[in-house]
Structure 1
Amino acid sequence: MMMKLSKRYWLMTCFASLLACLGVFISRGDTVKAAETNLVVTPVYTDNQIGGHTGYFNTYVAPGETQTYTFLVANKSDDKRTLYMRFNAGYTNQSGNAVFDSTKIPADSSLKYDMAKELLVGNRVKRVHVEGQETGTVSFEVKAPSTAYNGVIMGGVVTSTSGKSSLKSDGTLLKNDYGYAIPIFIRNQQEVSVSPKITLGTVKPAMRNGSPAVLVQTKNEQPAYLTTSTITAKVYRKGESKVYKKSTNSAITMAPNSNFEYGIDWGKNRVEAGDYKLDYTVSQGKLKTWHFTKNFTISNDDAKRLNDLAGFKPNYTWLWILLAVVVLIVILLIGILVGRRNKKNNNSNGNNNANGGKDSRRSRK
């Protein structure tokens, strides 16, 4: 039986739901349409929906109770259509967006409940056949944690029209087969007081989208959704005050208890080995700001590997400079030796001439 929501909780959750809409990939309104298939999907809301009919599910489910999430599928075409619906857990992708489009999510030690693996009851993939100009329904059941949980658990349902063949090897849906996505947020405690907590993990050089980059592992360690935020990353050479590399992204969202690697693109520049300092800021509007500094090193092996992968030719400038310096030194040394030899010869000739003159004068006497 659903508990009565307090006015304070209602206002808080309505505001949180409104902010969540800004960062999650969903279509606006109650209906989500897959234009290529003429299939229209409508969430069927229940009494425990928080924040009104927002186009996604945001529900309070009492500890241990099971919630049914039902979708109404309308086929607007004249032909029979088949739709595959897949239930996934929420995570943060490598672009820095909270999503649920993959069957495999990055491991995170702070994640207590994987909605798809631990809370979903039944199969995570369901198929629905809908005759032309008819409607059908498909439902998923989720059981809330048995004990009160101070936080939000995120998941969602994505669709395709070709089943398993629409999935890549990493479990992500192919874009050309992506029908729609509807997020699902669950909480089993009325007063949720937890807020996002951002921390940093590893900082390492790697390839990203075919270009060298430095990847900064960014973690949200709390069961709270990080609304639209800005990341500003600056890289300095050790001991220098001038910014060497800078990157900014103002469309960052993070799923509860998730992590991703923020990429600082090195552009078309060669990666140079050495010691660097990272200045990293995550700003959640006026709500909260996290600031970090961290030293890291790019080894000679890492620089060579990334430059080779990026197609940069070996840089022999230093070798040519060294060779030019050596040649110049050799020329100078040869010049000095030749000069000394010439001077010695001139001195010898002068002495001989002087001695010859004396001998002549003696002979005349």
Structure 2
Amino acid sequence: MKQQVKVSLVGFLYIICLLLTVPQLTYAKEDVPAIGYSYKIIKPENQIGGAGYFDLRMTPAQQQTVEIELYNITDKELVVNLSVHSAKTNSNGVIEYGPTKLPVDPSLKYDIKDIAKVADKVTLAAKETKRVPVEITMPNERFDGSISGGIYLQKDETTEEKKAEKSAKGVVNKYAFIVGLLLSETDVKVQPELGFNKIEAGTTNYRNAFLLNFSNTQPTYVEGMTVDTQIFKKGSNEVLYESKKENYRMAPNSSMTFPVHLNGESFVAGKYIGRILVTAGDKKWSWEEEFEVTKKDADKYNAEDVSLIQDRGINWKLILIVVASVLFLLIGSYFITRVFSKKMKKKNRKRKKVKKRTK
């Protein structure tokens, strides 16, 4: 059944200080009223290079406090919410440093949210500048590679802003900063290693897709990655569906789910073969895996695919059955009423004749 749901879409426009990408302080003048504050990092002596994020050379069991300076641009008090998140990889080959529903990969030995601690909230008076401490406690064991993540900063909404958001129509823009945090102890170059996890039927954005999941199990980034996937019916060499994407990245010790879309087609229950080739520089990984789409899963995901619901459109067969049934009932009612009416007329005539004779 097609349902029309009125949705207020909340779009997060990240103004991001991310690894290797953004200058130290970023905001547009026209966004100042919405953002309400600016930030900059206070670089310590163990900062590596001049990047606009924390890239720190650490030692085992080291404890260190680094600082982020916040400045309230407005004439009113405001509250900034803070949180720490490990780096993850989304299905578009883009690394996420903020809050996300993406799962933590089992290969992640040191989660940065357990290593770096910040206050949940910081209150800034009008025009106030305040330094926020980030407490870092390194693992006791020495490690090669990187521990990667981000510190997420977002202005807390006032009661008035929440009310305005509820009454707003269409897209509601929210703004946030993310300060990258990269921790290392050695110059040893760790080589990436990808491992296959699974391939299965599913949906992305309410559209059918085969979902390939694999992990980067090492504490290093994968750069310039190409993912090429083909789906076959078991026992056939005909490519049913395929997808190839280039210039993807993967965060250290993270997994990604790569979709192969069915482009508006329905899932058909049966056994399939997935052939996957992933390359990054001179590195190459390939897998060939058999998997099954059950009738239960096929029916479930086909029912959820909005493109299939739209394609189904009007069920003319059902409409014809309903119309025919209604016509049958109307015609039947007409004949029954007519027959009943004739009988009533005959009875009335007989009664009249009997009355005349008795007179």
Instruction: Kindly indicate whether residue 271 of structure 2 is the aligned counterpart of residue 254 of structure 1.
Output: no
Q: Distance in 2 between matches of 1:111 and 1:163?
A: 33
2:289 aligns with: 294
What CA deviation, in whole Å up to 9, does each residue of 1:91-127 have, x standing for no partner?
223443222212765142211111112x235xx4432
> Which of the numbers 106, 110, 113 marks the counterpart of 1:113?
110
When structure 1 is superposed on structure 2, of 39-48 and 67-76 the one drifting more is 67-76
Conserved in 2, the CA contact under 8 Å of 1:276 and 1:296? yes
Residue 193 of structure 2 is aligned to residue 197 of structure 1: yes
Q: Which runs of 5+ in 2 are unaligned?
A: 1-15, 162-170, 313-359
Closer, same or farther: CA 66–196 of 1 in aligned 2, 3 Å: same
How many angstroms apart in 2 are the aligned matches of 1:67 and 1:193? 24
Are the structure 2 counterparts of residues 303 and 112 from structure 1 closer, same or farther at C-alpha, using a change threshold of 3 Å?
same
Equivalent in the alignment of 1:348: none
Find the aligned partners of 1:144 and 1:228 in 2 and give their Cα distance.
Answer: 30
CA contact (8 A) 1:71 1:138 kept: yes
2:341 matched residue in structure 1:
none
* Contact 2:17-2:23 at 8 Å conserved across structures: no
Residue 80 of structure 1, aligned match among 77, 80, 99 = 77
The Cα shift of 1:241 comes to 2.8
Q: Show the counterpart of 1:45.
A: 43
SS at match of 2:230: strand
Provide the C-alpha distance between the structure 2 equivalents of 1:114 and 1:260, rounded to a whole number of angstroms. Answer: 17
Shift of residue 175 of structure 1? 8.5
Q: Is the 8 A contact 1:283 1:289 kept in 2?
A: yes
Give how far 1:148 is off.
0.9
Partner of 1:240: 236
> 2-side partners of 1:201 and 1:164: how far apart?
44
Alignment of 1:215-230 (within 5 A): 215-230=211-226
* Residues 64, 145 of structure 1: 8 Å contact kept: yes
CA offsets per residue over residues 194-244 of structure 1, 9 Å max, x none?
A: 221111111110121101111111101111122242212111222333321
Matching of residue 151 in structure 1 with residue 149 in structure 2: no
Corresponding position of 1:282: 278
Letter in 2 for 1:181: I
Is 2:133 the counterpart of 1:136?
no
Structure 1 residue ranges (4+ consecutive) displaced by more than 4 angstroms after TM superposition: 22-27, 163-166, 311-315
The DSSP-based 3-state class of the residue aligned with 2:297 is helix
In the aligned structure 2, how far is the partner of 1:135 from the partner of 1:175? Answer: 28
The answer on 1:187 being equivalent to 2:184 is yes
CA separation in 2, counterparts of 1:108 and 1:254? Answer: 12
Measure, in 2, the Cα distance between the counterparts of 1:164 and 1:274: 53
Q: After alignment, is 28-37 or 60-69 more displaced?
A: 28-37
For residue 327 of structure 2, what is the aligned residue in structure 1? none
Which one of 61, 65, 68 corresponds to residue 65 of structure 2? Answer: 68
What is residue 324 of structure 1 aligned with on the other side? none
Corresponding residue number in structure 2 for 1:5? none
Q: Where in structure 1 are there 5+ consecutive unaligned residues?
A: 1-21, 167-173, 316-365
For residues 18 and 91 of structure 2, the distance between their equivalents in structure 1, rounded to whole angstroms, comes to 14
1:175, 1:295 → 2: CA distance? 44
Distance 1:250 1:100 in 2: 21
What is the percentage of aligned positions where both structures have the same residue?
Answer: 24
For the residue of structure 2 that corresponds to 1:147, the secondary structure is coil
Taking a change above 3 Å as real, the CA distance of residues 24 and 196 of structure 1, as seen in their structure-2 partners, is farther
Structure 1 equivalent of residue 98 of structure 2: 101
Question: How has the CA–CA distance of structure 1 residues 266 and 201 changed in structure 2, closer, same or farther, with 3 Å as cutoff?
Answer: same
Return the alpha-carbon distance in structure 1 between the equivalents of residues 293 and 101 of structure 2: 30
Q: State the 1:69 CA deviation.
A: 2.5
Cα distance in 2 for partners of 1:134, 1:308 equals: 54
Q: How far apart are the structure 2 equivalents of 1:238 and 1:103?
A: 36
Give 3-state SS (helix, strand or coil) of 1:113's partner.
coil
Structure 2 CA distance for partners of 1:145 and 1:58, relative to 1, 3 Å: same
Would you say 1:270 and 2:266 are equivalent positions? yes
**Could you tell me how far apart the structure 2 residues matched to 1:138 and 1:126 are?**
11
Alignment correspondent of 2:164: none
Q: Secondary structure at the match of 1:179?
A: strand
Question: How far has the Cα of 1:29 moved from its partner?
Answer: 0.9
**Distance in 2, Cα, partners of 1:175 & 1:33:** 18
User: Per-residue deviation at 1:63?
Assistant: 0.9
Number of corresponding residues: 281
**Structure 1 range deviating more: 63-72 or 230-239:** 230-239
Partner Cα separation in structure 1 for residue 267 and residue 187 of structure 2: 49
CA distance in 1, matches of 2:279, 2:37: 39
> How many angstroms apart in 2 are the aligned matches of 1:251 and 1:132?
44
